[in-house]
């Protein structure tokens, strides 16, 4: 089964977990989850696809588990979707109903779909056969950085393969307690953060919001967070020290700044696990629970994954720890394609079947990977040099006055592109443009130094903490 811990025969033997899912003030045992989700399954079993407004609450979890039991495809919808994005997701996905609740505005924003309620205290013990592994469990919409969001088709087989690879890499067991407060409409918070513990059989504590105090009070053994979360925890020494009893601190969805990595080591005694993935691939690279953890590197391929680097002409890029190339990969946890977009699906794959991630990376001789960034925004070509924006950002973050930094390539008539930095200064500290340019030049090659620095109050980020560099470029 995809959700091993919900096996009704296990529950019947009395192996129930009284606090299998804690989300906010709601605590559900494993039999509560099974009974309530099966009740949901009975109400939606004849549907093909339903939309779930993925708020951080128990209703969302029961709705999604109910669909997995019944073999109904789920379309997770970000609760902060604007009207245009919402209309596109509903129209493109072909969702037949809202499961749980519809957005405020009802018919205007919700597309005039019926609403199927989810009742937390309903119970059913009807038995459903396990759906075929090839069945599409989720249509997850991308961030839409290159046009309207595309629907990523993710099968049960891919999800199981991806979770099992992480269970092995992180030595994840039923004795763990997972804590996070991440959104439930994305791979990190939903597939890893909800389906992971349900598959393993360990308790989940979802803090609703990923605040330092909430994480400190949870008492978990594994914590998931995006870099923004870890930056805030590192800035709160008392909260950080409260995590010293944990087993793993896992960071993903965006690069973790090296200074934050080092602060967490100092305050918690733990070097964070860093990993890499996408909606289309789940998690394909990770450092290991029992392996080396280097700041700024996302580790080696998980079980079943192969990677390679290619240049703009499709030629091999050496794994020498320095050469930058487009990251391509293949493995059992990849998506089945984009919904009704055969052209985009074909464009995303090479002729010999590898997935083109659109990211640029470096691989060292031991197989460790460092993600430089997106090929479209983070590979800067200046005066014949190939410069990774991430390397310059790391250098800027090493300056004591810099709290946040983002780097882009700006058009230049002479060099093609020049390196431009956007910096948020730490409160009460100052630095000039020349100070920061000289700081980068002192640690990196001269051609990698920023030609301009803009000081800003904040960087534009999406819900997962990723900097939206297209907005900076504009």
Residue whose C-alpha is closest to residue 387's, from 396, 377, 397: 377
Global pTM value: 0.84
What letter does residue 398 receive in the DSSP assignment? T
pLDDT at residue 137 in the model: 97
28 forms beta bridges with 21
Residue whose C-alpha is closest to residue 307's, from 287, 325, 288: 325
Alpha-carbon span 458 to 222, nearest angstrom: 30
Alpha-carbon span 177 to 292, nearest angstrom: 23
Q: What is the pLDDT of residues 253-307, one digit of tens each?
A: 878 888 899 999 999 999 999 999 999 999 999 999 999 999 989 999 999 999 9
Mean pLDDT of 26-49: 95
Tokens coding 331: 């493995």
- Give the Å distances, CA to CA, from 353 to 230, 278, 318, 347: 36, 17, 20, 11
Q: What is the pLDDT of residues 464-474, one digit of tens each?
A: 667 888 888 77
Residue whose C-alpha is closest to residue 374's, from 307, 261, 469, 295: 469
Tokens coding 153: 């088709």
Alpha-carbon span 401 to 205, nearest angstrom: 35
**435 in helix, strand or coil?**
helix
pLDDT at residue 110 in the model: 47
For the chain, give every domain's residue range: 4-197, 379-473
Residue 323: partners with Cβ closer than 8 Å, 6 or more residues away: 309, 317, 362
The overall average pLDDT reported for the chain is 90
Say whether pLDDT at 111 is over 60: no
Mean pLDDT of 3-9: 53
Label residue 20 by pLDDT band (50, 70, 90): very high
Would you say domain 379-473 falls under CATH 3.30.1360.30? no
Tokens coding 279: 């909606």
Sheet containing strand 151-155, edge to edge, reads: 115-116, 98-99, 49-53, 73-77, 136-141, 151-155
Mean pLDDT of 191-204: 96
User: Range with the lowest mean pLDDT among 210-219, 251-260, 386-395?
Assistant: 386-395
pLDDT at residue 276 in the model: 96
User: Range with the lowest mean pLDDT among 89-98, 329-338, 399-408?
Assistant: 399-408
Q: Do domains 4-197 and 379-473 have the same CATH topology?
A: no
**432 in helix, strand or coil?**
coil
Burial 53-69 (b: 16+ CB within 10 A, else e): bbbbbbbbbbbbbbbbb
Say whether pLDDT at 126 is over 50: yes
Burial of 342 (0-12, 13-18, 19+ CB in 10 A): exposed
User: Range with the lowest mean pLDDT among 181-185, 373-377, 450-454?
Assistant: 373-377
Burial 396-405 (b: 16+ CB within 10 A, else e): bbbbebbbbb
pLDDT at residue 14 in the model: 46
Would you say domain 4-197 falls under CATH 3.30.300.30? no
């Amino acid at each position: 089964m995809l959700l091993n811990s919900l096996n009704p025969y296990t529950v019947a033997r009395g192996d129930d977990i009284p606090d299998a899912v804690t989300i906010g003030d709601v605590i559900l045992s494993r039999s509560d989850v099974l009974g309530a989700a099966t009740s949901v399954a009975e109400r939606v079993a004849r549907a093909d696809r339903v939309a779930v407004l993925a708020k951080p609450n128990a209703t969302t979890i029961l709705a999604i588990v109910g669909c997995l039991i019944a073999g109904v495809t789920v379309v997770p919808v970000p609760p902060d979707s604007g009207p245009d994005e919402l209309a596109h997701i509903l129209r493109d996905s072909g969702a037949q109903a809202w499961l749980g609740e519809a957005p405020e505005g009802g018919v205007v924003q919700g597309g005039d779909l019926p609403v199927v309620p989810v009742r937390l205290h309903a119970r059913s013990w009807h038995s459903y056969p396990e759906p075929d592994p090839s069945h599409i469990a989720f249509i997850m919409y991308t961030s839409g950085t290159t046009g309207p969001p595309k629907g990523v088709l993710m099968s049960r087989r891919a999800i199981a393969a991806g979770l099992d690879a992480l269970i092995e890499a992180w030595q994840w067991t039923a004795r763990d307690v997972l804590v996070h407060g991440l959104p439930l409409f994305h791979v990190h918070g939903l597939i890893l953060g909800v389906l992971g513990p349900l598959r393993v059989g360990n308790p989940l504590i979802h803090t609703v919001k990923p605040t330092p105090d909430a994480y400190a009070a949870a008492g978990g053994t594994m914590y998931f967070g995006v870099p923004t979360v870890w930056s805030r925890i590192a800035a709160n020494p008392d909260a950080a020290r409260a995590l010293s009893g944990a087993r793993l601190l896992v960071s993903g969805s965006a690069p973790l700044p090296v200074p934050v990595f080092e602060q967490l080591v100092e305050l918690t005694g733990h070097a964070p696990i860093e990993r890499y993935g996408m909606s289309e691939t789940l998690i394909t690279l990770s450092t290991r629970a029992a392996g080396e953890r280097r700041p700024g590197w996302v580790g080696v391929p998980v079980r079943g994954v192969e990677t390679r680097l290619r240049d703009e002409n499709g030629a091999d890029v050496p794994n020498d720890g320095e050469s930058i190339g487009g990251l391509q990969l293949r493995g059992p946890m990849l998506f089945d394609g984009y919904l009704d977009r055969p052209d985009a699906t074909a464009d995303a794959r090479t002729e010999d079947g590898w997935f083109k991630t659109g990211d640029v990376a470096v691989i060292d001789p031991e197989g460790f990977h460092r993600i430089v960034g997106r090929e479209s925004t983070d590979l800067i070509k200046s005066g014949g040099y190939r410069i990774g924006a991430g390397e310059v950002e790391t250098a800027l973050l090493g300056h004591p006055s810099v709290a946040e930094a983002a780097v882009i390539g700006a058009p230049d008539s002479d060099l093609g592109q020049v390196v431009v930095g956007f910096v948020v200064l730490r409160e009460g500290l100052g630095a000039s443009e020349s100070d920061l340019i000289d700081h980068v030049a002192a640690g990196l090659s001269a051609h990698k130094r920023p030609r301009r620095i803009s000081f800003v109050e904040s960087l534009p980020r999406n819900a997962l903490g990723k900097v939206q560099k297209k907005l900076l470029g504009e």
